[in-house]
Amino acid sequence: TLIAVWAPWRRPGLFHAPDPSVVPRGAGDLARQLRFPAARLGIDEDELLSALEHASRPAQAVALIQKLGYVGSERALPLLDKLARDHREYVAAAAVHAMAQIGGEEATARLLDLLPSLRVRRDAVAALGLIATPRALEQLVKLAHESRSPLRQEAILALGQSGHEEVLGVFQDLIATGDDAVIQSVASALGNFNGAAADVLLRELVARENANISTAAIYALSDPADPETTAQLMAILAAGDSRRAEAAAYVLGRGGNPMALSLLGQMAREGGAQTRRACIDALGRAGGDKARGLLTELLQSGRGELAHEAARALVNLGDDAAIALVMKAVRDDQGMNGE
For residue 86, the tally of other CB atoms under 10 A from its CB is 18
Structure confidence at residue 123 (pLDDT): 94
Residue 72 has pLDDT above 50, yes or no: yes
Structure confidence at residue 163 (pLDDT): 82
Kindly report each contact of residues 91-96 with a partner whose C-beta sits within 8 Å and lies 24 or more positions away, as own/partner. Answer: 91/58, 91/61, 91/62, 91/65, 92/119, 92/120, 92/123, 93/120, 93/123, 94/61, 94/62, 94/65, 94/66, 94/69, 95/65, 96/120, 96/123, 96/124, 96/127
| Helical ranges in 150-299 per DSSP H | 152-162, 167-175, 180-189, 196-206, 211-220, 227-239, 242-255, 258-270, 273-286, 288-299
Whether 230 and 255 have beta carbons less than 8 Å apart is answered as yes
Structure confidence at residue 28 (pLDDT): 55
* Angle, CA of 185, 192 and 182, to the nearest 5°: 10
Amino acid at 114: L
Structure confidence at residue 41 (pLDDT): 67
Amino acid at 36: F
Q: How many Å is the Cα radius of gyration of the chain?
A: 25
As a whole number of angstroms, the distance between CA 305 and CA 155 comes to 43
The CA-atom distances, in angstroms, between 160 and each of 25, 141, 185 are 10, 11, 10
As a whole number of angstroms, the distance between CA 190 and CA 174 comes to 12
pLDDT tens profile 186-201 = 999 999 887 788 989 9
Residue 89 has pLDDT above 70, yes or no: yes
As a whole number of angstroms, the distance between CA 25 and CA 204 comes to 23
- pLDDT class of 23 with cuts at 50, 70, 90: very low
Residue 303 has pLDDT above 60, yes or no: yes
pLDDT tens profile 249-278 = 999 998 889 999 999 999 999 988 899 999
Structure confidence at residue 35 (pLDDT): 63
* Rounded average pLDDT over 50-76: 92
Structure confidence at residue 308 (pLDDT): 82
Q: Which residues does 16 contact at the CB level (< 8 Å), separation at least 6? A: 134
Higher pLDDT, 331 or 202: 202
Residue 235 has pLDDT above 90, yes or no: yes
As a whole number of angstroms, the distance between CA 189 and CA 205 comes to 12
Helix axes 211-220, 242-255, angle to 10 degrees: 10
